[in-house]
């Protein structure tokens, strides 16, 4: 009796016979594929898609080329994980019409079979010998298109079916054996990892975009909150002082300034390119302007120093808003009977701040001007100053604060080449110091480059 007869049943070759034949082929016959060459080609295709070919389409191409299939269709599980739907096709053209490919439920027989067995399905063999595939019933759109597709390749990632691939028949005679199936199953797993990573990267990029948007929104809201406080102060005083010409003039000036600042915020939101606003300005004038904006709250801040011209290079509006924020924080920390002082002076306690124009240049020390806001409020612990004060979006004010004012102040002063120093004692108040590099005074004279033009904003 022959070996084949031993394993043959009345209904044709049994499963043990197939396994025996595969074992013989694996050990006694030459392999169909040069696996090194196939793998190198597969990796090259997957990692370097052709021009205009998206990642998902390229994944179809990489697998189809292995068996010489002219094209295929990719189904991927959607975010709800309850169905598989058309995700890509290669080449485009006749395969691209997604309406031809209804969604396949995760509970469908095909999805369950691929998930549980992880077999590559030969549709011709399924039609000829259904019991080989446990009499699997295909979705209607596949059953109605016999001959259009030849293989179904599962895409399994960590034993989870993330999708499957429909491959069209290769040209010429094609009878897939164990080598074709093993190779397709292996590259299917690799493509599943590749697509899972692609999807994770896409979601991460979206998350970062939303994070950037939310951060931008928080910064804009912080600036709008200051503008709203300024306008609210005008409204609260309007009933009492609306017949005072000086109040009306001051209100119009404040509204005009707020309008300009809001327009700049809108431009930033629209990502328009803004012309640099940096110029030589008087630090004393910045302090006085910020104090004027905060004068409607208690305790009313006072200014000391700043009489001598201490010129710095900065955006006057931005630096004023930063000083205004520091003053408002000091006012919040004090009782109505407390004190907030703004001191502007030449820094006589240090040699300056380090300026290093390039990596190879010698480090230079530039003299600095200081603007210090001193209050006798509740103060902060050394740990809070060290760990939390400059951490963005960390606030002790609850819904009233954004937690970014101190961070903005430090980052902007750093961008000017300076630094921020904070000393505070709980129950005794805080010294918040901005150290900004000095600039040369503007050219004297009434022309466009004169001192008056530089100081005006």
CB 362 within 8 A of CB 355: no
Of the candidates 60, 69, 90, the one whose C-alpha atom is nearest the C-alpha of residue 168 is 69
Backbone angle region of 429, left / alpha / beta, with phi > 0 → left and psi within -120 to 50 → alpha? left
Query: Greater confidence, 19 or 45?
Result: 45
Q: How large a percentage of the chain has pLDDT more than 70?
A: 74
When pLDDT is averaged across residues 425-431 and rounded to a whole number, the result is 92
Domain chopping of the chain, boundaries? 3-203, 275-455
Mind giving me the DSSP string for 372-395?
EEEE-SS---HHHHHHTTTSTT--
Mind giving me the DSSP string for 303-316?
EEE--S--EEEE-H
The whole-number pLDDT of residue 376 equals: 93
Q: Which CATH class is domain 3-203?
A: alpha beta
pLDDT tens column, 2-18 = 444 443 344 444 556 55
The whole-number pLDDT of residue 185 equals: 92
pLDDT at 74 over 50: yes
CB 89 within 8 A of CB 228: no
pLDDT band at 312 (very low <50, low <70, confident <90, very high): very high
Query: Greater confidence, 107 or 254?
Result: 107
pLDDT at 451 over 60: no
Least confidently predicted of 160-164, 202-206, 339-343: 202-206
CB 192 within 8 A of CB 227: no
CATH of 275-455 among 1.10.10.10, 3.30.70.260, 3.30.565.10, 3.30.450.20 = 3.30.565.10
Distance CA 381, CA 18 (A): 78
The whole-number pLDDT of residue 278 equals: 82
The whole-number pLDDT of residue 394 equals: 61
Q: Residue holding tokens 């990489």?
A: 62
Least confidently predicted of 107-111, 406-410, 432-436: 406-410
Distances (CA, A) of 54 to 87, 131, 154: 11, 38, 20
The whole-number pLDDT of residue 430 equals: 93
pLDDT at 442 over 80: no
pLDDT tens column, 226-284 = 777 778 878 888 888 888 888 888 888 778 877 877 777 776 666 544 445 788 999 99
Q: Which residues contact 361 (CB under 8 A, 6 or more apart)?
A: none
When pLDDT is averaged across residues 108-127 and rounded to a whole number, the result is 93
pLDDT band at 111 (very low <50, low <70, confident <90, very high): very high
Query: Greater confidence, 183 or 95?
Result: 183
The whole-number pLDDT of residue 362 equals: 41
The whole-number pLDDT of residue 365 equals: 67
pLDDT band at 150 (very low <50, low <70, confident <90, very high): very high
pLDDT at 58 over 70: yes
pLDDT at 456 over 60: no
When pLDDT is averaged across residues 300-327 and rounded to a whole number, the result is 86
Q: Which residues contact 416 (CB under 8 A, 6 or more apart)?
A: 312, 313, 314, 436, 437
Least confidently predicted of 319-328, 400-409, 447-456: 447-456
Residue 216 half-sphere exposure, CB side, CA atoms within 13 Å?
A: 13
pTM for the structure as a whole? 0.49
pLDDT at 145 over 90: no
Query: Greater confidence, 293 or 155?
Result: 155
Mean pLDDT of the chain: 79
Distances (CA, A) of 359 to 355, 364, 411, 412: 11, 12, 21, 22
pLDDT at 33 over 70: no
pLDDT band at 367 (very low <50, low <70, confident <90, very high): confident
The whole-number pLDDT of residue 5 equals: 43
């Amino acid at each position: 009796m022959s070996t084949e007869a031993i394993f043959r049943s009345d209904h044709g070759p049994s499963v043990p016979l197939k396994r025996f034949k595969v074992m013989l082929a694996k050990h006694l016959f030459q392999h169909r594929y040069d696996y090194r060459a196939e793998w190198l080609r597969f990796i090259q295709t997957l990692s370097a898609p052709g021009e205009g070919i998206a990642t998902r389409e390229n994944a179809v191409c990489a697998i189809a080329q292995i068996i010489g299939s002219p094209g295929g269709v990719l189904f991927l599980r959607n975010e709800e994980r309850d169905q598989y739907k058309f995700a890509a096709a290669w080449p485009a053209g006749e395969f691209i019409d997604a309406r031809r490919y209804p969604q396949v439920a995760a509970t469908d027989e095909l999805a369950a079979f691929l998930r549980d067995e992880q077999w590559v399905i030969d549709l011709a063999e399924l039609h000829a010998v259904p019991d080989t595939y446990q009499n699997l019933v295909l979705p209607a759109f596949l059953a109605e298109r016999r001959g259009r597709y030849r293989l179904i390749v599962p895409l399994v990632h960590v034993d989870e079916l993330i999708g499957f691939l429909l491959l069209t028949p290769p040209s010429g005679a094609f009878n897939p054996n164990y080598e074709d199936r093993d190779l397709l199953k292996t590259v299917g797993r690799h493509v599943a990892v590749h697509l899972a990573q692609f999807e994770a990267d896409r979601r991460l990029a979206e998350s970062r975009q939303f994070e950037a948007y939310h951060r931008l929104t928080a910064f804009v809201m912080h600036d709008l909150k200051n503008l709203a406080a300024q306008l609210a102060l005008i409204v609260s005083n309007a009933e009492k002082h609306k017949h005072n010409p000086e109040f009306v003039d001051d209100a119009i000036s404040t509204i005009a300034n707020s309008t300009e600042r809001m327009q700049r915020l809108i431009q930033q939101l629209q990502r328009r390119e803004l012309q640099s606003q940096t110029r030589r300005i008087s630090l004393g004038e910045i302090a006085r302007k910020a104090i004027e904006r905060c004068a409607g709250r208690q305790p009313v801040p006072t200014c000391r120093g700043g009489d001598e011209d201490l010129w710095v290079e900065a955006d006057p509006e931005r630096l004023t808003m930063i000083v205004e924020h520091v003053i408002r924080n000091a006012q919040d920390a004090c009782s109505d009977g407390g004190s907030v002082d703004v001191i502007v002076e030449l820094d006589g306690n240090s040699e300056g701040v380090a300026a290093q124009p390039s990596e190879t240049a010698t480090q230079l020390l530039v003299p600095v001007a200081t603007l210090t806001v001193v209050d006798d409020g509740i103060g902060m612990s050394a740990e809070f100053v060290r760990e939390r004060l400059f951490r963005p979006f960390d606030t002790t004010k609850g819904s009233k604060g954004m937690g970014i004012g101190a961070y903005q102040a430090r980052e902007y002063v750093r961008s000017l080449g300076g630094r921020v120093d904070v000393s505070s004692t709980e129950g005794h108040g805080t010294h918040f110091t901005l150290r900004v590099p000095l600039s040369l005074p503007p050219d004297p004279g009434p022309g466009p480059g004169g001192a008056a033009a530089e100081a005006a904003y």
